[in-house]
Chain A
Amino acid sequence: MKSLITLFKSLFYHAGLNHENMQGTGFFYLLKDAAKRNGVEIDSAVLENQRKYFHTHPFLVNFILGMWLTEYKNGSDPETFKKAYSSAFGALGDSFFWHSLRPFSFVFAAITGTVDPFLGIMIYLLTFNLFHFTFLFTGYSLGMELGRDVIVWFNRIGFNKWPEHFDLVSVFFLGVFLAYIFKTGAEISVDVFFIAAGYLAMGLIMAKKLDITLGLMINLILSGIIFFQLGV
Protein backbone atom coordinates (compact mmCIF):
# COMPACT_ATOMS: atom_id res chain seq x y z
CA MET A 1 0.00 0.00 0.00
CA LYS A 2 2.88 2.36 0.87
CA SER A 3 4.39 1.79 -2.57
CA LEU A 4 1.05 2.59 -4.18
CA ILE A 5 0.68 5.86 -2.24
CA THR A 6 4.27 6.81 -3.05
CA LEU A 7 3.64 6.03 -6.71
CA PHE A 8 0.61 8.32 -6.74
CA LYS A 9 2.41 11.15 -4.94
CA SER A 10 5.51 10.84 -7.09
CA LEU A 11 3.37 11.74 -10.12
CA PHE A 12 3.38 15.30 -8.72
CA TYR A 13 7.12 15.32 -8.03
CA HIS A 14 8.06 17.02 -11.27
CA ALA A 15 5.49 19.80 -10.89
CA GLY A 16 7.83 22.07 -8.94
CA LEU A 17 10.56 22.06 -11.58
CA ASN A 18 12.42 25.37 -11.83
CA HIS A 19 15.93 26.54 -12.78
CA GLU A 20 16.90 27.48 -9.26
CA ASN A 21 16.52 24.21 -7.36
CA MET A 22 15.27 22.05 -10.25
CA GLN A 23 13.28 19.25 -8.56
CA GLY A 24 14.35 20.04 -4.98
CA THR A 25 10.85 21.11 -4.01
CA GLY A 26 9.41 17.87 -5.34
CA PHE A 27 11.93 15.76 -3.45
CA PHE A 28 11.24 17.66 -0.23
CA TYR A 29 7.52 17.01 -0.69
CA LEU A 30 8.01 13.29 -1.32
CA LEU A 31 10.49 12.80 1.51
CA LYS A 32 8.44 14.63 4.11
CA ASP A 33 5.42 12.55 3.23
CA ALA A 34 7.27 9.21 3.08
CA ALA A 35 9.02 9.87 6.41
CA LYS A 36 5.68 10.61 8.08
CA ARG A 37 4.14 7.39 6.76
CA ASN A 38 7.14 5.34 7.90
CA GLY A 39 7.34 6.99 11.32
CA VAL A 40 10.85 8.33 10.65
CA GLU A 41 11.68 11.53 12.50
CA ILE A 42 13.89 13.70 10.29
CA ASP A 43 15.75 16.59 11.83
CA SER A 44 14.06 19.80 10.66
CA ALA A 45 17.31 21.36 9.35
CA VAL A 46 18.13 18.18 7.39
CA LEU A 47 14.61 18.08 5.98
CA GLU A 48 14.73 21.76 5.03
CA ASN A 49 18.02 21.11 3.26
CA GLN A 50 16.17 18.83 0.84
CA ARG A 51 14.61 21.85 -0.82
CA LYS A 52 18.02 22.64 -2.30
CA TYR A 53 19.15 21.79 -5.82
CA PHE A 54 18.23 18.27 -6.86
CA HIS A 55 17.70 16.83 -10.28
CA THR A 56 17.15 13.28 -11.42
CA HIS A 57 14.94 11.32 -13.75
CA PRO A 58 11.34 11.65 -12.45
CA PHE A 59 10.53 7.96 -13.06
CA LEU A 60 13.45 6.75 -10.92
CA VAL A 61 13.12 9.20 -8.05
CA ASN A 62 11.45 6.65 -5.77
CA PHE A 63 14.62 4.55 -5.69
CA ILE A 64 16.48 7.56 -4.28
CA LEU A 65 13.65 8.31 -1.87
CA GLY A 66 13.73 4.77 -0.41
CA MET A 67 17.52 4.74 -0.32
CA TRP A 68 17.63 8.10 1.48
CA LEU A 69 15.22 6.97 4.21
CA THR A 70 17.10 3.71 4.81
CA GLU A 71 20.48 5.42 5.00
CA TYR A 72 19.09 8.10 7.30
CA LYS A 73 17.57 5.47 9.60
CA ASN A 74 20.91 3.63 9.66
CA GLY A 75 22.65 6.81 10.74
CA SER A 76 24.86 7.13 7.67
CA ASP A 77 25.12 10.09 5.31
CA PRO A 78 22.43 9.79 2.63
CA GLU A 79 23.37 13.08 0.93
CA THR A 80 26.53 11.74 -0.73
CA PHE A 81 24.63 8.87 -2.31
CA LYS A 82 21.66 11.06 -3.15
CA LYS A 83 23.93 13.24 -5.28
CA ALA A 84 25.63 10.30 -7.01
CA TYR A 85 22.34 8.50 -7.68
CA SER A 86 20.63 11.65 -8.93
CA SER A 87 23.22 12.00 -11.70
CA ALA A 88 23.43 8.30 -12.57
CA PHE A 89 19.65 7.84 -12.63
CA GLY A 90 19.37 11.00 -14.75
CA ALA A 91 21.62 9.33 -17.33
CA LEU A 92 19.97 5.90 -17.13
CA GLY A 93 16.43 7.28 -17.11
CA ASP A 94 16.95 9.72 -19.99
CA SER A 95 18.56 7.03 -22.14
CA PHE A 96 15.86 4.47 -21.51
CA PHE A 97 12.57 6.33 -20.99
CA TRP A 98 13.02 9.33 -23.28
CA HIS A 99 15.30 8.04 -26.00
CA SER A 100 14.37 4.36 -26.29
CA LEU A 101 11.02 3.59 -24.71
CA ARG A 102 9.27 6.55 -26.32
CA PRO A 103 10.23 5.61 -29.91
CA PHE A 104 9.62 1.93 -29.06
CA SER A 105 6.08 2.72 -27.90
CA PHE A 106 5.55 4.99 -30.90
CA VAL A 107 6.47 2.27 -33.40
CA PHE A 108 3.91 -0.15 -31.94
CA ALA A 109 1.34 2.65 -31.69
CA ALA A 110 1.92 3.51 -35.36
CA ILE A 111 1.54 -0.13 -36.42
CA THR A 112 -1.70 -0.63 -34.49
CA GLY A 113 -2.82 2.88 -35.46
CA THR A 114 -3.11 1.77 -39.07
CA VAL A 115 -5.83 -0.66 -37.92
CA ASP A 116 -7.58 1.75 -35.55
CA PRO A 117 -6.22 5.19 -34.52
CA PHE A 118 -7.79 4.96 -31.05
CA LEU A 119 -6.15 1.57 -30.52
CA GLY A 120 -2.83 3.12 -31.55
CA ILE A 121 -3.11 5.78 -28.85
CA MET A 122 -4.08 3.16 -26.27
CA ILE A 123 -1.12 0.97 -27.23
CA TYR A 124 1.24 3.93 -26.86
CA LEU A 125 -0.09 4.82 -23.42
CA LEU A 126 -0.11 1.21 -22.25
CA THR A 127 3.40 0.36 -23.47
CA PHE A 128 5.00 3.52 -22.12
CA ASN A 129 3.20 3.58 -18.81
CA LEU A 130 3.73 -0.11 -18.13
CA PHE A 131 7.42 0.65 -17.58
CA HIS A 132 6.78 4.10 -16.14
CA PHE A 133 4.47 2.86 -13.38
CA THR A 134 6.39 -0.36 -12.73
CA PHE A 135 9.56 1.60 -11.95
CA LEU A 136 7.70 4.13 -9.83
CA PHE A 137 5.91 1.34 -7.95
CA THR A 138 8.89 -0.91 -7.25
CA GLY A 139 11.40 1.90 -6.78
CA TYR A 140 10.39 2.90 -3.29
CA SER A 141 10.42 -0.60 -1.75
CA LEU A 142 13.65 -1.58 -3.53
CA GLY A 143 15.30 1.65 -2.42
CA MET A 144 14.20 0.98 1.17
CA GLU A 145 15.39 -2.61 1.05
CA LEU A 146 18.76 -2.11 -0.63
CA GLY A 147 19.66 1.37 0.62
CA ARG A 148 22.89 2.69 -0.81
CA ASP A 149 23.41 -0.58 -2.73
CA VAL A 150 20.32 -0.07 -4.89
CA ILE A 151 22.59 0.22 -7.94
CA VAL A 152 23.24 -3.52 -7.61
CA TRP A 153 19.65 -4.17 -8.69
CA PHE A 154 20.15 -2.04 -11.81
CA ASN A 155 23.34 -3.92 -12.60
CA ARG A 156 21.59 -7.25 -12.07
CA ILE A 157 18.92 -6.42 -14.67
CA GLY A 158 21.55 -4.82 -16.97
CA PHE A 159 19.51 -1.62 -17.12
CA ASN A 160 22.19 0.37 -18.95
CA LYS A 161 21.88 -2.07 -21.87
CA TRP A 162 18.09 -1.86 -22.12
CA PRO A 163 18.13 1.18 -24.45
CA GLU A 164 20.33 -0.71 -26.90
CA HIS A 165 18.00 -3.75 -26.93
CA PHE A 166 14.86 -1.65 -27.20
CA ASP A 167 16.37 0.40 -30.04
CA LEU A 168 17.11 -2.79 -31.98
CA VAL A 169 13.50 -3.96 -31.66
CA SER A 170 12.17 -0.48 -32.55
CA VAL A 171 14.32 -0.18 -35.65
CA PHE A 172 13.35 -3.67 -36.83
CA PHE A 173 9.62 -3.04 -36.46
CA LEU A 174 9.92 0.46 -37.92
CA GLY A 175 11.52 -1.11 -41.00
CA VAL A 176 8.71 -3.65 -41.24
CA PHE A 177 6.12 -0.92 -40.80
CA LEU A 178 7.63 1.42 -43.43
CA ALA A 179 7.99 -1.44 -45.90
CA TYR A 180 4.32 -2.33 -45.34
CA ILE A 181 3.21 1.30 -45.78
CA PHE A 182 5.18 1.70 -49.00
CA LYS A 183 3.98 -1.62 -50.35
CA THR A 184 0.32 -0.98 -49.67
CA GLY A 185 -0.13 2.77 -49.67
CA ALA A 186 2.11 4.47 -52.21
CA GLU A 187 3.11 4.35 -55.81
CA ILE A 188 6.89 4.28 -55.54
CA SER A 189 8.78 5.17 -58.67
CA VAL A 190 12.53 5.68 -58.99
CA ASP A 191 12.00 9.47 -59.03
CA VAL A 192 9.97 9.47 -55.83
CA PHE A 193 12.47 7.19 -54.14
CA PHE A 194 15.43 9.48 -54.95
CA ILE A 195 13.56 12.65 -54.00
CA ALA A 196 12.61 11.12 -50.64
CA ALA A 197 16.15 9.84 -50.05
CA GLY A 198 17.57 13.26 -51.04
CA TYR A 199 15.26 15.02 -48.60
CA LEU A 200 16.25 12.66 -45.82
CA ALA A 201 19.97 13.07 -46.49
CA MET A 202 19.69 16.87 -46.73
CA GLY A 203 17.68 17.03 -43.50
CA LEU A 204 20.17 14.87 -41.64
CA ILE A 205 23.19 16.84 -42.88
CA MET A 206 21.64 20.19 -42.02
CA ALA A 207 20.49 18.97 -38.61
CA LYS A 208 23.96 17.67 -37.86
CA LYS A 209 25.98 20.57 -39.28
CA LEU A 210 23.72 23.51 -38.58
CA ASP A 211 20.83 23.12 -36.24
CA ILE A 212 17.74 20.88 -36.12
CA THR A 213 15.22 23.74 -36.19
CA LEU A 214 17.12 25.68 -38.85
CA GLY A 215 17.44 22.52 -40.95
CA LEU A 216 13.71 21.91 -40.74
CA MET A 217 12.95 25.52 -41.70
CA ILE A 218 15.28 25.40 -44.73
CA ASN A 219 13.75 22.10 -45.80
CA LEU A 220 10.25 23.53 -45.53
CA ILE A 221 11.16 26.67 -47.49
CA LEU A 222 12.83 24.61 -50.24
CA SER A 223 9.81 22.31 -50.37
CA GLY A 224 7.53 25.34 -50.72
CA ILE A 225 9.60 26.70 -53.61
CA ILE A 226 9.67 23.30 -55.37
CA PHE A 227 5.93 22.78 -54.92
CA PHE A 228 5.26 26.34 -56.12
CA GLN A 229 7.36 25.76 -59.24
CA LEU A 230 5.55 22.48 -59.89
CA GLY A 231 2.21 24.21 -59.43
CA VAL A 232 1.09 21.94 -56.58
Chain B
Amino acid sequence: MKKIIFRVDDRLIHGQVIEGWVKYYKIHRIMVVSDRIAGDSLQRMIFQSALPSGCTLEIMSVDQFIAGFSRLKKVKDYTLVLMESVEDLARCMNLIDSDIYVNIGCVACREHKVEVSNTVFLDLNEIEQVCSIRDMVEVYIHKVPWEPSVEIRNFSKLLKGGL
Protein backbone atom coordinates (compact mmCIF):
# COMPACT_ATOMS: atom_id res chain seq x y z
CA MET B 1 0.00 0.00 0.00
CA LYS B 2 1.22 3.50 -0.84
CA LYS B 3 2.16 5.65 2.13
CA ILE B 4 -0.22 8.50 1.40
CA ILE B 5 -3.88 7.60 1.12
CA PHE B 6 -6.43 10.13 -0.12
CA ARG B 7 -9.88 8.97 0.87
CA VAL B 8 -13.15 10.64 -0.03
CA ASP B 9 -15.58 9.85 2.74
CA ASP B 10 -18.36 12.22 3.66
CA ARG B 11 -18.54 10.79 7.17
CA LEU B 12 -14.82 11.56 7.60
CA ILE B 13 -13.80 9.76 10.81
CA HIS B 14 -16.10 6.84 11.54
CA GLY B 15 -16.01 3.13 12.33
CA GLN B 16 -14.69 1.84 9.00
CA VAL B 17 -11.92 4.41 9.01
CA ILE B 18 -10.75 3.70 12.57
CA GLU B 19 -11.31 -0.06 12.75
CA GLY B 20 -10.49 -0.59 9.09
CA TRP B 21 -7.84 1.72 7.69
CA VAL B 22 -6.21 3.10 10.84
CA LYS B 23 -5.80 -0.21 12.69
CA TYR B 24 -5.07 -2.33 9.62
CA TYR B 25 -2.19 -0.18 8.37
CA LYS B 26 -1.25 1.08 11.85
CA ILE B 27 -1.75 4.66 10.74
CA HIS B 28 -0.75 7.21 13.37
CA ARG B 29 -1.43 10.31 11.37
CA ILE B 30 -4.82 11.36 10.06
CA MET B 31 -5.57 14.59 8.25
CA VAL B 32 -9.10 15.85 7.84
CA VAL B 33 -9.33 18.28 4.96
CA SER B 34 -12.57 20.21 5.16
CA ASP B 35 -13.34 23.92 4.99
CA ARG B 36 -16.52 23.30 6.98
CA ILE B 37 -14.85 21.66 9.97
CA ALA B 38 -11.58 23.60 9.99
CA GLY B 39 -13.34 26.71 11.24
CA ASP B 40 -15.45 25.12 13.98
CA SER B 41 -13.72 24.38 17.29
CA LEU B 42 -16.48 22.18 18.72
CA GLN B 43 -16.56 19.96 15.63
CA ARG B 44 -12.78 19.71 15.78
CA MET B 45 -13.06 18.54 19.39
CA ILE B 46 -15.77 16.00 18.51
CA PHE B 47 -13.56 14.41 15.84
CA GLN B 48 -10.49 14.56 18.06
CA SER B 49 -12.39 12.67 20.78
CA ALA B 50 -13.21 9.82 18.41
CA LEU B 51 -9.59 8.85 17.86
CA PRO B 52 -7.85 5.97 19.60
CA SER B 53 -4.78 6.87 21.64
CA GLY B 54 -1.55 7.11 19.68
CA CYS B 55 -3.20 8.76 16.68
CA THR B 56 -2.66 12.39 15.79
CA LEU B 57 -5.29 14.35 13.96
CA GLU B 58 -4.75 17.48 11.92
CA ILE B 59 -7.79 19.36 10.67
CA MET B 60 -7.32 21.97 7.98
CA SER B 61 -9.02 23.70 5.10
CA VAL B 62 -8.40 22.58 1.52
CA ASP B 63 -6.22 25.63 0.81
CA GLN B 64 -4.10 25.05 3.91
CA PHE B 65 -3.65 21.41 2.90
CA ILE B 66 -2.56 22.33 -0.62
CA ALA B 67 -0.12 24.92 0.73
CA GLY B 68 1.53 22.46 3.15
CA PHE B 69 1.48 19.33 0.99
CA SER B 70 5.19 19.33 0.10
CA ARG B 71 5.94 18.79 3.83
CA LEU B 72 3.70 15.71 3.84
CA LYS B 73 5.49 14.11 0.87
CA LYS B 74 8.68 13.85 2.92
CA VAL B 75 7.05 11.86 5.76
CA LYS B 76 7.74 8.12 5.59
CA ASP B 77 4.88 6.86 7.78
CA TYR B 78 1.40 6.12 6.52
CA THR B 79 -0.81 9.19 6.32
CA LEU B 80 -4.54 9.03 5.81
CA VAL B 81 -6.01 12.15 4.25
CA LEU B 82 -9.78 12.31 4.60
CA MET B 83 -11.82 14.55 2.37
CA GLU B 84 -15.51 15.18 2.54
CA SER B 85 -16.37 15.33 -1.14
CA VAL B 86 -15.18 14.55 -4.64
CA GLU B 87 -15.14 18.31 -5.19
CA ASP B 88 -12.49 18.72 -2.46
CA LEU B 89 -10.48 15.91 -4.03
CA ALA B 90 -10.70 17.64 -7.41
CA ARG B 91 -9.38 20.83 -5.83
CA CYS B 92 -6.29 18.84 -4.78
CA MET B 93 -5.89 17.35 -8.25
CA ASN B 94 -2.51 19.00 -8.88
CA LEU B 95 -1.07 17.23 -5.83
CA ILE B 96 -2.02 13.75 -7.00
CA ASP B 97 0.66 11.55 -8.49
CA SER B 98 1.49 7.84 -8.59
CA ASP B 99 2.73 7.90 -4.95
CA ILE B 100 -0.80 8.46 -3.70
CA TYR B 101 -3.54 5.87 -3.31
CA VAL B 102 -6.80 7.55 -4.28
CA ASN B 103 -9.80 5.90 -2.75
CA ILE B 104 -13.49 6.75 -2.67
CA GLY B 105 -14.98 5.19 0.43
CA CYS B 106 -18.40 6.65 1.02
CA VAL B 107 -20.41 9.36 -0.69
CA ALA B 108 -23.97 9.45 0.56
CA CYS B 109 -27.04 9.19 -1.59
CA ARG B 110 -28.64 12.54 -2.40
CA GLU B 111 -31.07 13.71 -5.06
CA HIS B 112 -29.84 13.36 -8.68
CA LYS B 113 -27.06 11.00 -7.72
CA VAL B 114 -26.27 7.69 -9.37
CA GLU B 115 -25.43 4.57 -7.40
CA VAL B 116 -21.87 3.66 -8.35
CA SER B 117 -21.50 1.13 -5.53
CA ASN B 118 -23.56 0.45 -2.43
CA THR B 119 -21.71 3.21 -0.56
CA VAL B 120 -20.83 5.62 -3.35
CA PHE B 121 -23.42 7.81 -5.04
CA LEU B 122 -22.19 10.44 -7.50
CA ASP B 123 -23.81 13.13 -9.62
CA LEU B 124 -22.76 14.08 -13.15
CA ASN B 125 -20.30 16.75 -11.99
CA GLU B 126 -18.63 14.39 -9.56
CA ILE B 127 -18.37 11.66 -12.18
CA GLU B 128 -16.65 14.10 -14.53
CA GLN B 129 -14.25 15.13 -11.75
CA VAL B 130 -13.45 11.51 -10.92
CA CYS B 131 -12.89 10.80 -14.64
CA SER B 132 -10.38 13.63 -14.92
CA ILE B 133 -8.48 12.33 -11.86
CA ARG B 134 -8.73 8.85 -13.37
CA ASP B 135 -6.84 10.15 -16.41
CA MET B 136 -3.81 10.75 -14.16
CA VAL B 137 -3.88 7.95 -11.59
CA GLU B 138 -5.97 4.91 -10.73
CA VAL B 139 -8.98 5.61 -8.53
CA TYR B 140 -10.52 2.89 -6.41
CA ILE B 141 -13.73 2.33 -4.51
CA HIS B 142 -12.46 0.68 -1.37
CA LYS B 143 -14.53 0.47 1.80
CA VAL B 144 -12.15 -1.36 4.11
CA PRO B 145 -8.65 -2.78 3.46
CA TRP B 146 -9.61 -6.45 3.75
CA GLU B 147 -12.37 -6.19 1.14
CA PRO B 148 -11.50 -6.20 -2.56
CA SER B 149 -11.12 -2.77 -4.12
CA VAL B 150 -12.92 -1.84 -7.32
CA GLU B 151 -11.00 0.16 -9.85
CA ILE B 152 -13.05 2.85 -11.52
CA ARG B 153 -12.82 2.37 -15.29
CA ASN B 154 -16.06 2.60 -17.15
CA PHE B 155 -17.59 5.91 -16.19
CA SER B 156 -17.39 7.14 -19.74
CA LYS B 157 -20.40 4.97 -20.57
CA LEU B 158 -22.39 6.75 -17.89
CA LEU B 159 -21.32 10.12 -19.23
CA LYS B 160 -22.52 9.23 -22.73
CA GLY B 161 -26.14 9.18 -21.76
CA GLY B 162 -26.32 6.41 -19.19
CA LEU B 163 -27.48 8.91 -16.60
Residues of A within 8 A of B (CB): 19-22, 52-53, 55, 57, 80-81, 84-95, 98-99, 148-149, 151, 154-155, 159-161, 163-164, 207, 211-212
The secondary-structure label for the interface of chain B is: loop
Query: Given that A53-B108, A53-B109 are known contacts, is A87 also in contact with B11, CB under 8 Å in the complex?
Result: yes
- A84–B53 contact, CB under 8 A? no
A164 touches B53 (CB 8 A): yes
Q: Mark B74-117, 1 if CB is under 8 A from A, else 0.
A: 00000000000000000000000000000000001110000100
Knowing A19-B119, A84-B46, A91-B18, say if A163 contacts B52 (CB, 8 Å). Answer: yes
* Nearest CB in chain A to that of B115: its residue: A19
Binary flags per residue of B2-46, CB closer than 8 Å to A gives 1, else 0: 000000000111111111000000000000000001001011011
Given A160-B52, A164-B52, the answer on whether A99 and B46 have CB atoms closer than 8 Å is no
19 extra A-B contacts, CB within 8 A, seeds A19-B118, A84-B47, A92-B50: A53-B108, A53-B109, A53-B110, A57-B15, A87-B12, A87-B50, A88-B13, A89-B50, A90-B14, A91-B50, A92-B49, A93-B15, A94-B16, A98-B19, A151-B46, A159-B49, A161-B52, A164-B52, A164-B53
Interface centre among B42, B49, B52, B119 (most CB of A within 10 A): B49
Residue of B nearest to A150 (CB): B46
Majority secondary structure, A binding face: helix
Q: How far is the CB of B49 from chain A (nearest CB, A)?
A: 5
Contact status A84-B15, CB under 8 Å: no
The residue of chain A having its C-beta at the shortest distance from the C-beta of B117 within the complex is A19
Q: Is the CB of B19 within 8 A of A94?
A: yes
